[in-house]
């Protein structure tokens, strides 16, 4: 058993490379994933509200975001390279954000669709304008679906950040490439374990945030 573990990971390499190699890669990985989910959310929220209000736009928006989601990441890098450069953070983020849009838009729209019509009728009866109804009724009730989308998008982004190693970014993905190039398992194992941990922490963060924000939204609504 000890020999098998030693074949997978050499702890001496981990300790000697933590500060100069692993930690910077981990920080870059987190930064790329957070930026992608943040930008994706900023784009997807108004987009989802727009297609919810104007239902004829659903087909084009869902179709376009779905097309982006199905394009292989390496091919997407090649498609946007003429506009953003190949080895640039812009190229990496455009690709990462593209993969979050379908998830976030669909989940937000699904949450808005799930709001009971009688609740909306009650809001209109007390004089809420369409905008006030959206902000005080529809979006708060759609929050569980929105957070579900954020959780999936975060886990997806954390995994896909590794692929940006092919354009000189990648965070932990750089360790994977190094491991394959040197036929050395330790960097690969470290990158995989840390990627899984990051995905789990991101998911847990939004679980906690959902409980806090949803409780706060319901308190404000009933006040």
CA angle 66, 71, 77 (to 5 degrees): 130
- The span from the CA of 29 to the CA of 119, in Å, is 42
- The span from the CA of 19 to the CA of 50, in Å, is 46
pLDDT of residue 176: 94
Would you state the CATH architecture of domain 17-222? Orthogonal Bundle (1.10)
pLDDT of residue 6: 53
Q: Where are the alpha helices (DSSP H) in the chain?
A: 2-8, 11-17, 23-53, 58-70, 73-84, 89-113, 117-125, 130-133, 139-161, 173-181, 185-222
Q: Per-residue pLDDT for the chain (223 aa), expressed as one digit of tens each?
A: 444 555 678 999 999 999 999 999 999 999 999 999 999 999 999 999 999 999 899 999 999 999 999 988 888 888 888 888 777 888 889 999 999 999 999 999 999 999 999 999 898 888 889 899 999 899 999 999 999 999 999 999 999 999 999 888 889 999 999 999 998 999 999 999 999 999 999 999 999 999 888 876 555 455 4
pLDDT of residue 87: 76
- The span from the CA of 78 to the CA of 50, in Å, is 30
Which are the contacts of 139, defined by CB distance < 8 A and separation ≥ 6? Answer: 112, 146
Q: Which of 4, 21, 94, 104 is nearest to 61 (CA)?
A: 104
Note the pTM of the prediction, 2 decimals: 0.88
Residue spans per domain, the chain = 17-222
């Amino acid at each position: 058993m000890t020999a098998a573990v030693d074949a997978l990971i050499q702890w001496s390499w981990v300790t000697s490379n933590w500060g100069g190699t692993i930690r910077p890669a981990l920080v870059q990985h987190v930064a790329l994933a957070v930026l992608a989910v943040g930008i994706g959310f900023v784009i997807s929220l108004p987009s989802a509200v727009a297609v919810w209000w104007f239902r004829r736009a659903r087909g084009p928006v869902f179709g376009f975001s779905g097309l982006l989601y199905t394009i292989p990441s390496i091919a997407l890098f090649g498609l946007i390279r003429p506009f953003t450069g190949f080895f640039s953070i812009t190229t990496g983020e455009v690709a990462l954000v593209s993969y979050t849009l379908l998830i976030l838009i669909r989940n937000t729209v699904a949450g808005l669709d799930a709001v009971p019509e009688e609740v909306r009728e009650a809001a209109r009866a007390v004089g809420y304008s369409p905008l006030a109804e959206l902000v005080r009724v529809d979006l708060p009730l759609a929050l569980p679906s929105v957070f579900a989308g954020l959780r999936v998008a975060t886990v997806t982004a954390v995994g896909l950040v590794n692929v940006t190693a092919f354009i000189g970014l990648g965070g932990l993905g750089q360790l994977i490439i190094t491991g394959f190039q040197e036929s050395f398992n330790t960097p690969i194992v470290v990158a995989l374990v840390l990627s899984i941990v990051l995905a789990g922490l991101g998911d847990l963060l939004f679980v906690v945030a959902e409980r806090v924000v949803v409780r706060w939204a319901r308190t404000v609504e009933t006040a």
